Amino acid sequence: MRFRLFWLLAFVSVSLSLLLAQRRPRFEMLEDNPSPFPADGNEKTEFAFARLMYPSFSGGYWGWQGAWATDYPKADRQFMQGVRRLTRIHARSAEEVVDLESDKIFDWPWIYAVEVGHWELNDKQAAKLREYLLRGGFLMTDDFHGTIEWDVFLASLQRVFPDRPVEDIPNEDEIFHVLYDLDERFQVPGIRYFYSGRTYEQDGIEARWRGVYDDDRRLMVAICHNMDLGDAWEWADLPRYPERWASLAYRIGINYIIYAMTH
């Protein structure tokens, strides 16, 4: 009996040590589209692509194939290549996964949430996200489509900001001019376009750029609805994927980051 207890303790210790030895938790099991971990992926940088891990509608963190991890991590890493090449931001090549259960989120003032048409935040998580955004954090949401997903998204967003409206971002807003002038925007479809032949999904025919502003008219939440910028980043290296879609997705993403770092 004692012998078995010894091996059990040894196993637990070794497992814990291996787990703690890793600088950042990895979510290889949940990788939607695996990508090689960059050699400088652990570099200490000013900015990292912080992907929000959130509980999904009716499925917890891991429901519906882990909606938060869609396109992860290839989209993140491929987008960061663009950010590093096109801007002076000291950005890390690998992403950072953050969740609303931890205060670690406050170390990353820009976060990205994908497939938010499936998220479901509880009151505690909504309160933390509200605090995060009001302190100066910035949330970019992407890759959700149509009326049903909008309603799901809004249900949780309204827990975050019950009293703040979601507004269409006007063309003249600085977020569309902070680096690139993005007056000419169009719907950026995901990889499904190649199967469906449609640039839209569900009934999300028209791409909408919306947001939630703070009291000083600074955007806290930038909502990319009826488009799939994440797919555009993910498949930018696919010869079939049109350059103009990938290019716009990069420009929007970079503008959103620089806006978050200046406003």
Partner 1 sequence: MFEFLFSHPAAAFQKGEFVLLGPAPWWMLALSILAAAAGLGWLIWRRRSALAAGLKGWRPAAIWALQATLAALLLLLLWQPALQLSALKPQQNVIAVVVDDSRSMSIVDGGETRSAGAVTALEGGLLGSLSESFQVRLYRLGDRLERINGLDQLTADRQATRIGEGLREVVAEAGSVPIGAVLLMSDGADNSGGLDLKTLAEVRSRRIPVHTVGFGRERFEKDVEISAVELPDRSLADSRVAARVTFRQRGYAGSKARLTVRDGGRVLVSKDIELDSDGGQQTESLLFNAGSAGAKHLLVSIDPLEGEENPRNNTLSRLINVESAKPRVLYLEGEPRWEYKFIRRAMQKDRTVQLTSILRTTQNKIYRQGVASPDELKDGFPSDLKELFAYEGLILGSVEAGYLTPSQQQAVMEFVDRRGGGVLFLGGRAALADGGYKASLLAEILPVTLPEGKATFRRDRVGVRLAAGGRDSLITRLVENPEANEKRWSDLPQLADYEEAGSPKPGAMVLAELMSPNGRPMPLLVTQNFGHGRTAVFATGGSWRWQMQQDLADQTHEVFWQQLLRWLVTGTPGQVLSSTPRQVLADESRVPLAVRVRDKNFMPVLDARVEAKIMGPAGASGVAELSPDPKEPGIYIGEWQAGNAGGFVAEVVARRGEEEIGRDVLNFRREDGVAENFRAEQNRELLGNLASQTGGRYWKPDELARLPKEITYSEAGITVRETRDLWNMPAVFLALILLKAAEWFLRRRWGVV
Interaction of residue 134 with partner 1, rule CB under 8 A: yes
Interaction of residue 88 with partner 1, rule CB under 8 A: yes
- Segment contacting partner 1 by CB under 8 A, of 48-56, 63-71, 106-114, 143-151: 106-114
Smallest distance from the beta carbon of 141 to partner 1, in angstroms? 20
Interaction of residue 202 with partner 1, rule CB under 8 A: no
Q: Pick from 160, 178, 222, 232: which binds partner 1 (CB under 8 A)?
A: 178
Interaction of residue 240 with partner 1, rule CB under 8 A: no
Phi, psi (5° rounding) for residue 98? -125, 150
CA within 13 Å, CB half, 153: 27
Closest CB to partner 1 among residues 24, 90: 90
Interaction of residue 106 with partner 1, rule CB under 8 A: yes
Q: How far apart are CA 234 and CA 232, in angstroms?
A: 5
The set of residues, in sequence order, having a beta carbon less than 8 Å from that of 243 and lying 6+ positions away, is none
Residue 19 burial by CB count (10 A; 0-12/13-18/19+): exposed, middle or buried? exposed
- Segment contacting partner 1 by CB under 8 A, of 12-20, 128-136, 202-210, 228-236: 128-136
Q: How far apart are CA 67 and CA 108, in angstroms?
A: 21
Q: Pick from 81, 87, 202, 247: which binds partner 1 (CB under 8 A)?
A: 87
Query: Which residue's structure tokens are 């009293």?
Result: 163
Strand pairing category for 167-168 and 208-213: antiparallel
Q: Pick from 44, 123, 195, 243: which binds partner 1 (CB under 8 A)?
A: 44
Sequence letter at residue 179: L
What's the distance, CA 189 to chain centroid? Answer: 17
Q: Pick from 86, 148, 155, 205: which binds partner 1 (CB under 8 A)?
A: 86
Smallest distance from the beta carbon of 175 to partner 1, in angstroms? 12
Interaction of residue 263 with partner 1, rule CB under 8 A: yes
Interaction of residue 46 with partner 1, rule CB under 8 A: yes
What's the distance, CA 3 to chain centroid? Answer: 48
Q: Pick from 31, 63, 89, 169: which binds partner 1 (CB under 8 A)?
A: 89
Interaction of residue 40 with partner 1, rule CB under 8 A: no
Q: How far apart are CA 4 and CA 248, in angstroms?
A: 59
Q: How far apart are CA 113 and CA 52, in angstroms?
A: 5
Interaction of residue 257 with partner 1, rule CB under 8 A: yes
**Residues at the contact surface with partner 1, assessed by CB under 8 A:** 44-47, 86-90, 103, 106-107, 109, 131, 134-137, 178-179, 216, 257-258, 260-263
